[in-house]
């Protein structure tokens, strides 16, 4: 009888320890942010009413502002400094003022309107656009279709044209 009681106690103790471990594991799910899969970098358009880039052609609410990518998903905000980088969850108050001052419905409305013009006009689209190159950088276009170089690229080009080591 004592042997049976000891075995029963060991089983209960083992199950309790397993449940404690399982509950510990459940708190660590999705710490790095939601899994986001985009086959190729999306185009970001700049509706004049917003002043920041909005991704088009992807099933996510994704934004580009001051060199940072922002994602709104499942009622939560995430950010990353490089396209395809690890997402960090943000509190609403940590968002830039430009994102905080607009309601999501309004942002989507401006995005959708700008996207209609982008798809209708094709190569003649006169708005600003940006497409990351997969390394966090990309090509910006203004309303006239001219590209904007990043400051580092301009410096390198000037350096190459001069043929010296000055920067």
Q: Are strands 138-141 and 129-132 parallel, antiparallel or unpaired?
A: antiparallel
CA distance 70 to 87: 9
Dihedrals φ, ψ of 160, to 5°? Answer: -65, -40
DSSP state letter for 19: H
* pLDDT tens column, 70-110: 999 889 999 988 877 788 999 999 999 999 999 999 999 99
pLDDT band at 135 (very low <50, low <70, confident <90, very high): low
* pLDDT tens column, 114-130: 999 988 887 788 888 88
**Distance from the Cα of residue 81 to its chain's centroid:** 8
This prediction's pTM: 0.60
Q: What is the pLDDT of residue 76?
A: 92
User: What number of other Cβ atoms are within 10 A of residue 23's Cβ?
Assistant: 9
Token readout for 129 is 């656009």
DSSP bridge partners of 77: 72, 90
pLDDT at 16 over 90: no
User: What number of other Cβ atoms are within 10 A of residue 2's Cβ?
Assistant: 6
């Amino acid at each position: 009888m004592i042997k049976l009681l000891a075995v029963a106690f060991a089983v209960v103790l083992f199950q309790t320890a397993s449940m404690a471990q399982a509950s510990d594991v459940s708190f660590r799910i999705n710490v790095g942010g939601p899994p986001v899969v985009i086959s190729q970098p999306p185009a970001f358009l700049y509706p004049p009413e917003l002043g920041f880039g909005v991704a088009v052609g992807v099933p996510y609410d994704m934004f580009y502002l001051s060199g940072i990518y922002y994602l709104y998903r499942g009622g939560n905000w995430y950010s990353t400094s490089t396209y395809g980088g690890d997402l960090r969850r943000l509190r609403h108050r940590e968002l830039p003022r430009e994102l905080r001052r607009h309601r999501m419905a309004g942002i989507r409305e401006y995005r959708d309107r700008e996207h209609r013009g982008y798809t209708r006009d094709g190569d003649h689209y006169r708005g600003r656009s940006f497409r990351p190159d997969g390394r966090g950088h990309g090509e910006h276009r203004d309303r006239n279709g001219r590209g904007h170089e990043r400051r580092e690229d301009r410096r390198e080009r000037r350096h190459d044209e001069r043929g010296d080591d000055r920067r």
